[in-house]
Amino acid sequence: MARTVIAGNWKMHGLKADLAVIQAVADGLADKPDNIEALLCLPATLVASGAALAAGTDLEIGGQSCHQAGRGAHTGDISAEMLADAGASHVIVGHSERRADHGESDGQAAAQAEAAIAAGLTPIICVGETLAERESGKALEVVTKQVLGSVPEAAGTTSVIVAYEPVWAIGTGHTPTPEQIEEVHAAIRATLSQRFGDAGAKIPLLYGGSMKPGNAAEILAVQDVNGGLIGGASLKAEDFLAIYAAAVSQLS
Ligand code: 13P
């Protein structure tokens, strides 16, 4: 059985003034059960200060992207080792916004995930179909291809997380039905189990896309949904903690 992970993705939001939100989230995790992880993936500028605030609490801090190279002439990029050095434990790779804004491919996502693993980080590898792909009946085919291309071989022997984020659900207020989520998560689980055996059965599969306190319990109850990757609702401590509480209540 995969562990539960509730992860926030702040995207390009957050200034020093918002460190108070991180503190409030950390405070709200008191008495966290062992079989659930809570983390916030912050903009790079806040990773070090966020990690310092979260030190000694149950909140973990992640980055949102990393370069596949360890170091070098890559102006504006950040390496996995830099994120780890700043106090991150996780990093998102292959988010659809990176794929759309920066043309990142499955191969790059896999290379970034490998770089993250080499630096001691847990990669959160994102996949998800567009609306056009879903409407043309290709959602499962597209997502399976992304999983095969974006999840590196090392996932068989080390900790990785996979997030299913249908592009059409991100920031739109539209979510798939529980049946649609279940169908895609089952396909991802089957692909990972086929490739990695028992290790594939233990990889946490997160759902992401317009997840909020009002729909979290229903989504988290879906078979093979092991948590959430939350954008907008992670910017408010109260909303993020409500989703976390929904996950905790399903553990017991
Ligand atoms: P929203 O929760 O804002 O839809 O974003 C989801 C997401 O992209 C998380 O990575």
Tell me: the pLDDT tens digits for 89-139?
Answer: 999 999 999 999 999 999 999 999 999 999 999 999 999 999 999 999 999
For this structure, is 238 an active site residue?
no
Of 35, 83, 28, 32, the C-alpha closest to 61 is 83
Q: What is the dihedral of CA 74, 75, 76, 78, to 10 degrees?
A: 30
**Which atom of ligand 1 is the closest one to the Cα of 163?**
10
Catalytic residue among 67, 90, 95, 185: 95
Mean predicted lDDT score pLDDT of the chain: 97
Tell me: the pLDDT tens digits for 193-243? 999 999 999 999 999 999 999 999 999 999 999 999 999 999 999 999 999
Residue nearest to atom 2 of ligand 1 (CA): 231
**Does any ligand 1 atom lie closer than 6 A to the CB of residue 232?**
yes
Structural domains of the chain in order of their starting residue, each with its CATH number: 4-251 (3.20.20.70)
Residue 165 bears catalytic tag: yes
Q: Is the CB of 208 under 6 A from ligand 1?
A: yes
Determine how many CB atoms are found less than 10 A away from the CB of residue 73: 6
* Ligand 1 neighbour 211 (Cβ under 6 A): yes
Q: How far apart are CA 105 and CA 86, in angstroms?
A: 26
Atom 9 of ligand 1, residue of closest alpha carbon:
231
Residue 1 pLDDT level (bands cut at 50, 70, 90): confident
Please tell me the distance between residue 129's alpha carbon and the centre of ligand 1 in angstroms.
Answer: 14
Whether the model clears a pTM of 0.85, i.e. scores above it, the answer is yes
Q: Is 231 in the pocket of ligand 1 (CB under 6 A)?
A: yes
User: What pLDDT sits at residue 194?
Assistant: 97
pLDDT score for 153: 96
Is the confidence at residue 252, as pLDDT, over 90? no
User: 102 Cβ partners below 8 Å, 6+ apart?
Assistant: none
